[in-house]
Structures are given as C-alpha cells and as structure tokens.
Chain A
Amino acid sequence: MTASKALRTEEFLVNMGPHHPSTHGVCRFLLTMDGEVVIKAVPYIGYLHRALEKICENRTYPQCLPVLDRFEYCTSMSCEYAFCLAVEKLAGIQAPERAEYLRIIMVELNRIASHLIWFGTTALDLGAITPFLYGFREREDILDLFEMTCGQRLTYNYIRIGGVSRDIPSQFIPKAKEFIDKFPSKIDDYVKLLNENPIWVVRNRNVGILPPELALSYGVSGPVLRGSGVKFDLRKDDPYSIYDRFEFDIPTGKYGDCYDRYLVRMAEMLQSTRIVKQALEQLPEGDIKAKVSPQFKPPKGEVYSRIENSRGEMGIYIQSPGDSKKPLRVKMRGGSYNHLQVMPEIVKGGKIADLVAVMASMDIIMPEVDR
C-alpha cells in the first residue's frame, strides 16, 4: 500500500485491434491501463458491418437465406433455422415431420462444430496449440456430413422455408452414427488435455466472473448465462419445433468464471450428441418440404422468433407488409452483441492477459455483433 502511494503511476491508453489475433475477428478495444491493470475498456465495433439487414429488405424471402448464412457463419444452420421458423410462424406454414428431424440433426451437429471452433481458438489464444488441431480434426468429420448432404462446408443454404432443400444421402446415417459413437471418447481426450492443466486452470479459474444479475440485465444468454448458474435454455424453457421430444440435460456452472463457461460448453457438446442420436433413431420417412412458392407473400404482420444458438439467443424479427414478396424489415439479434456489451464490466480491474481469456471464453464472433 505504501509502495503504491510512493510510486507515482500514470494511466495510459492501449489500442487493441481491430487486427489482433485474439479478438476473434475485427473487434477493437481502447484500453485505459495502469501498468498491467485494465482501468477501463471501451469496445469499438463496426469493422464488419455489412448491412445484412438492408440487404434482406431488398430480397424476397427465399433470397434472404444465403444472406442469413453469413450472419453467423460458425453456425449457419441455426441462422437459416431461426429465419425459417420466423417466416413459418408469420405465414402459418408447417414443415413436414421428416424435415423437422433433419433440421434438428443439422443444427445440433452444427452446434458441436461451432463449439469445436471455440475450443480450438480459445486454447490457441491461451497458448495451447494441440487443442486447435484436435478440435478441427473432429470438425472436419461433421463438415463431411454436411458436404455430402448439401455440398457446402460453411454456408449451407440447406434449411429452407417449409422444410429442407434436399434429403440426406443413404450413407449419411451410418456415417453420422459412427461419428456420434466415437465423439464422446474424443471429448474425454480434450478434457484430459485441459481440465487439470495448471496453466489452463490458472488462466481461467476466477477470471472474468460474471454475476447472474449483471448477466441478465445485459441480456446475456446461452452458455455464458448458464456458466453463471442460471439454468435457462430455450430448447427446454421455450421449446420450439420438436425439441420437447428429446431427452437432454442443461449443464450449468457455479461461479460464472471462464473455467465454468469452458465446462458448460464441453458438457453441451455431449448433450448435442445425445439429441442427434435420438433424432437419428426416431427419424421418420416422408416429405422433406412443404410447398412454398419462391414468390410467396406472407400475410401482413410482424413476428419475433428466437432459438437457442451455440452463442446464445438468436432472434429474428420480421415485419411483412402483406402485399410484397420482400420483407419490410428484418432485424437480427445475436448473442455476441450482448456478450461484448457486458465485457467492459467484467474485465475492469483485471490484467490485460485476462481480457484475452474473457474474450475467448465469451465466444464472441464479430459478424453477429456488426451484422
């Protein structure tokens, strides 16, 4: 105490980003520092503002889907899914049973793929390279499944209004089952690699603690909210589609620090494999797409529809003028938008290296923030 009084320190500014390897894209922080300690962090965004909402206003509803793919490219399936659910709610379209199952299989596989990206890049940010290689190895297996179904690796355009674009090929189910069977043992490998790793524990335990009240007031959702101990998952608490037919648990954390968020995501991947397994077993035969004209005009109205994405609540607001094949307004809401907003509150008083850990554990992805 006396030493710090005697030693005159001065605050200074550090600019972090927009081109910085650990900001997961193009986020910029202006940090007010006192030595190694962050006094204040101000995020600057907009470096990837691509005007997706303006583009959607000038496209017909089916044409919006490729744009939505690029809204949150780690889980493109979820974006399409959220948009299709919103339009179907608006126009009263019911997708066939088989399509609902296929959608859930794809969305859950995509959630695993997205968490694997998170797993790899987070570990890379904190200095571990092996998890990156491991995570992307398993992710390629999932991408193979997507590729044999719709031909794309990242931006799928698979889930369409009223169903899905095409049926799965015959080798999909055996391949998916093979993946589901082997994946839990891979998670064991990851966990063995990191859970007890002293560097990993020191850099994550008690770092970036997010209290549940603060999280809720900032609209934080998804694994970050559950890491803070709030048991809330839209798949269970506001079930959409056919999620009420599957058995799965909602993992939650206890302390709300980076380590808890890591544990929640690892457990979530296991739960997703459970859902995919059940869906593959129950998968019925039948149609895959309701008849929807490409020129169709939904009735006048507005709707906000939300789903549980791998980063939290993904919501799509659509207003239809009623007499047009183009929406009047499409507003996209991504989980990262709120996660980035709460970050200045929780990195305050920590070290600059903790900011990297917090940013990584929040799983922020910039297109979802900037749109």
Chain B
Amino acid sequence: MDHTELTKYILEKFPGKIELLDTGKAEPFFKISADFLLDFCRSIHSDEKLFIDFLCNIGAVDTGKKFEVVYSVASVKNHIRFDFKLEQEYEGAEIDSIQEIWAGANWHEREVWELYGINIRNHGNLTRFLLPDDWNQGFPMRKNWDAPDFVRMPEQ
C-alpha cells in the first residue's frame, strides 16, 4: 500500500472520527480524539490490511497552549508506517494506556507521565524512573518549567 492508498483506506475505515493533517510529508499524519484512542489502536492492530504490530514511539509535546501526544506506528508485515496524535488541555490531562495492544508502550507512557504530568489511565506502574527518586520540582519538559539551578543558554 502506498501513502495515498493508505490515507484513503484509513479515512474510509473510520469516517468522521479521524482527521487528516496535511503536514506535506511522505507519511500520513492523523488526528484523533482522546476517547477514541483505545478503539482506534485495537482496530488498526487487528485489521487484516493494516496489521499494525509495531509501536515505534510515543512522544508528548507541549505546544505552549495545550499538550499533544504523538504515536508513531508501523507494520513489520505490511511495511506501513503512519503517525497519529491527540490533544489534551493542560488541566486534568489524561489518556488511556495502550499497553494491552503493544506491551512496549509501558515505558513510553511512563515517560510521558513523568516529564509532562499527563496522567495515564490503567497504566499499573506509574513510578519515577528517569528523574531522581526524591525529585520534587514538577514536570521539567513543560515549556513554563523553571528551577533555581536551571541555566538557560543566553541568546546570541
């Protein structure tokens, strides 16, 4: 399946629930709503034509207005790759865990929780692992984060 076929297939499979973001790049990039995440992942994982069996990456983004969580997925069998993302407000950001579909999501989600403070529903093991155990300075990857010993690079 090439990229246009793939885009068409996914848009037809989930009518009205998924939005194509035109980023002008080779691989398609979709936007879904947060409550559709689990269903979406389940169906792309089990769909015969897609068979997305490989989770590449989960990354959270702080855009300055809200959070975005970006999922990059691929199929080893069918040689497909695409990305999708969802948006969350600052207050009470919470997403579902997708560990039941791809077990490798565990650490990626833990990292999102630890560095951005986005809560993960049904994760089961939300404990600190990148930062020191006694860390109490909040969520360092947020854009407005600051600390006394944090030195910013001077503008040149």
Contacts and interface: CB of A to CB of B under 8 A. Distances in A.
Nearest to A48: B130
B76 to A, nearest CB: 5
A370 B130 contact: yes
A370 B131 CA distance: 10
Contacts of A317: 57, 59, 70, 72
Interface string B63-79: 10000101010101001
Contacts of A333: 56-57, 59, 72
Contact of A337 (B24, B74, B107, B153): B107
Contacts of A220: 104
Given A49-B130, A315-B57, A341-B107, A89 B72 contact: no
Nearest to A370: B130
A51 interface: yes
B55 A219 contact: yes
B96 interface: no
Interface in A293-348: 299, 301-304, 306, 313, 315, 317, 319, 321, 328-329, 331, 333, 337-338, 341-342
B27 to A, nearest CB: 7
Interface residue range, chain A: 35 or more
Contact of A313 (B29, B56, B106, B152): B56
Interface string B114-144: 0000000000000011111000000011000
Interface stretch (A10-18, A95-103, A198-206, A230-238): A230-238
Nearest to A43: B129
Contact of A89 (B26, B76, B83): B26
Interface string A211-241: 0000011111100000000101000011000
A304 B23 contact: no
Contact of B56 (A44, A219, A370): A219
A301 B23 contact: yes
A315 B104 contact: no
A303 B57 contact: no
A175 interface: no
A21 interface: no
B34 interface: no
Contacts of A221: 54
Interface in A36-58: 44-46, 49, 51, 53-54, 58
A362 interface: no
A84 interface: no
Interface of A: 44-46, 49, 51, 53-54, 58-59, 89-90, 92, 216-221, 230, 232, 237-238, 299, 301-304, 306, 313, 315, 317, 319, 321, 328-329, 331, 333, 337-338, 341-342, 370
Q: Kindly list the 5 A-B residue pairs having the minimum CB-CB distance in the complex, ordered from nearest.
A: A331-B59, A219-B104, A46-B130, A218-B104, A301-B23
